[in-house]
Structure 1
């Protein structure tokens, strides 16, 4: 179904607000810009900004892009025969190969990353996001493996997978801050993913393997 005029207008308005906000945050710093100033620069009302972005932090980390369900959804979508840990590493590898914007592997991301790291509320949002990703993943692993409530394995495996995920993002952030180019960062991160996979043992690769779906008659 094609996008309607109303939906197209909403998408463009949302994009304009986000772009204007990003420009102001990059120029003056996240904490030095108010939502009212974003609204004025984007030529919309303050209520309109909040309709699209309920919190100021959402202008930088919108929930639909910085989702706490990211790891859980990757695991839910994995093909039959694949373990949960392998699914997450494979997705990260795919995103690195295509220089996905969500990883920050684009030109000019360095100043944007510095702006985020300089805002305590954004740093807190990122930390909270990491904790929620871990919790959502642990819940999915428990459901898929039928683990008892007192079984610690889903939480242990979720913590391991979340740790790999955080390590990759941390490596990208460190290299972006150092001024490295996206291609150089992608190569280094790919090598890091290779090292992680080499260290994965049988317990991780054998945990929460998606069962083959029976063929329909």
Structure 2
């Protein structure tokens, strides 16, 4: 943002950006401590001290210790729903989600699991190696399903139960593909090789979503 834009920006917008920066700073401080010492060995009070805020202030930003880590997923919670809502005219919801996932693999987006940067691998080890974080992650996935179900209803109609069942299957496909890709990358397999396999797996998974579970019918 230019100085002129900064000057003319509304106070509300400036406050929102300042609050977002504070969210991110506190979260990154916490994650650095968790990676260094382990999630269970770091107290909320220690995080607050490192972030130079009080414990009550920290809880005004984050409802739980787990949310300090999962803040990184906040932007992804309604990503599938936004992909459907913002898709180009003439593109089905499922095709839009398929293309979006493949684009993420091409970018080596950490959320796809296809990223071997040490910081990303360490974060995923922290996440998947901490039971309370895994449990909390399911709450994010549930909200992602609900948002996607609403977007699917808006896009293609149907009934709420049908849309929720479809959303659950789509979110599960995203999660399982990402976890399998991360598992292979974290085991030391070459990213290029894993990436090719991930694209093939994604194509097969979305084909299965398109045709239904006929194999098991």
Please state which band the TM-score falls in when normalised by the shorter chain: 0.7 to 0.9
Give the length in aligned residue pairs: 201
Q: Give 1:141's aligned residue.
A: 152
Cα RMSD over matched residues? 2.8
Give matches, 1:36-47, under 5 Å: 36-47=45-56
TM-score by length of 2: 0.77
Render the CA deviation track for 1:34-85: whole Å, top value 9, x for unaligned.
1110111222222332233232222111163341x22222111111111111
Deviation, 1:24, is 1.1
- Change in Cα spacing, 1:129 to 1:15, as seen in structure 2 (3 Å) is closer
* Residue 121 of structure 1 pairs with residue 132 of structure 2: yes
C-alpha distance in 2, partners of 1:49/1:183? Answer: 41
Gaps of 5+ in 1: 205-217
Q: Give 2:121's aligned residue.
A: 110
* Residue 60 of structure 1 pairs with residue 69 of structure 2: yes
* Residue 32 of structure 1 pairs with residue 41 of structure 2: yes
- The range that moved more, 86-95 or 183-192, is 183-192
- Change in Cα spacing, 1:100 to 1:72, as seen in structure 2 (3 Å) is same
- Change in Cα spacing, 1:148 to 1:41, as seen in structure 2 (3 Å) is closer
Deviation, 1:123, is 0.5
Q: 1:97 aligns with which of 99, 106, 109?
A: 106
Q: Give 1:185's aligned residue.
A: 194
Q: Give 1:176's aligned residue.
A: 185
- 8 A contact 1:113–1:177 mirrored in 2: no
Q: Higher helix share goes to which structure?
A: 2
- 8 A contact 1:72–1:137 mirrored in 2: yes
C-alpha distance in 2, partners of 1:8/1:166? Answer: 30
Deviation, 1:87, is 1.0
C-alpha distance in 2, partners of 1:27/1:89? Answer: 37
C-alpha distance in 2, partners of 1:186/1:95? Answer: 11
* Residue 166 of structure 1 pairs with residue 195 of structure 2: no
- 8 A contact 1:65–1:102 mirrored in 2: no
TM-score by length of 1: 0.77
- 8 A contact 1:110–1:179 mirrored in 2: no
Gaps of 5+ in 2: 8-13
Give matches, 1:16-27, under 5 Å: 16-27=25-36
Higher relative contact order, chain-length normalized (CA < 8 Å, sep 6+):
1
